[in-house]
Amino acid sequence: MRKRNVIVLLFVFSLFLTASKGHSCTSFCLVDMQRPIVGKNYDWSIENGLAIVNKRGVQKTAAQYGAIEFGKPIKWKSKFGSITFNQFGRELPMGGINEAGLVVEVLMLTETVYPKPDSRPSISALQWVQYQLDNFSTIQKVIESDAHVRILQTFSSPGLHYFVCDRDGNSAIIEFLNGGFIYYTDENMPVKVLTNSTYEHGIRSWNHQKHRKSNQYAGARRFVHTGELLDKYGDGKPADPVDYAFNVLAIVSQGSFTKWSIVYDIKNLAIYFRTYSNQKIRHIALQHFDFSCKSPVLVLNINNDLSGDVTDSFFEYTQEDNRLLVENIFRSISLNDMIRQEILGKAVTYPDENICVN
């Protein structure tokens, strides 16, 4: 193995250690009168982030940096616009929703083992989220896409699994275990919750009501607790489902590690969120954005001192916004300076390589 690949492997390992100390996210779907609501706590040591308006009609080639064995990158043209929450740079979201009502969220999973190289074109584990939001409107299409694209390990993802929900309230969990593609849908997904244990482990804990007080099984404990809270929805006086979702996220919060709490009202194409440094709930209305790639890309610093409707607070994106976002992440990770600059430079400039063809 070349020396540079060894260094990148060490980078992956260092990020894994950093993330595993506080990356204990929780996600769920609550369906109220055919109105699906998705909640997500993003738990980590870093709070910075941008909400980014991604455009339809953009020709893209998967980013090639920070991977051990990339292979042939997949190419596509975005069919849907979306709004995503990004921390590792534009085009590498931690989650988001597209204009068709598809939500994709990521959570860390240490057991993840991505597939070995094969004939499929490849994409990194975070850009996989953007690929799904760019292309599909239903969980079935997301599942079917595995036949056409191979997900791979990169510097930005020590191991992830995914919570997906569409406008019809259908949910799916997607995991990569022992190099295989594993998924659960409503038929074999009795609890619409995901934490940082495998879904199989979460369901075993749910069925046996174990691990409720053991820190060793914190992910399973949150899985069971969140599932119970969802079961209680509707008891007594009906609560607003968005408010209830925020209450659930507050109950299973990991204190100062919970940096973002996000609620997606899929039917109404609205996003609600709060951050650790700004606990005021803000909301974004997707229908008010122009997703044509001929219009400027817009972004919002999610930690700005704002409240209420922040749809009009987005501003025009510049490469400098992306640079500041990516540099903040890199300051938290130990890495050889030469490799740091190479990967950072590519992460910053990559979005400008994509072309509007609409």
- Are residues 218 and 212 in contact, defined by beta-carbon separation less than 8 angstroms? no
Number of domains in the chain: 1
Instruction: Determine the Cα–Cα distance for residues 175 and 160; give it in Å rounded to an integer.
Output: 7
Q: What is the pLDDT of residues 281-290, one digit of tens each?
A: 999 999 999 9
Q: What's the Cα-to-Cα distance from 42 to each of 1, 115, 122, rounded to whole Å? A: 35, 26, 26
**Pairing between β-strand 282-285 and β-strand 308-309 as defined by DSSP bridges:** parallel
Computed on alpha carbons and rounded to an integer, the radius of gyration of the chain in Å comes to: 19
Give the pLDDT score at 336: 55
What's the chain's length in residues?
Answer: 358
CATH at 160: 3.60.60.10
- The range of the structural domain enclosing residue 192 comes to 3-356
Amino acid, single-letter form, for residue 182: I
Element spanning 203, H or E: helix 199-208
**Low pLDDT (below 70) residues in the chain:** 1-23, 66-69, 154-158, 210-217, 237, 333-340
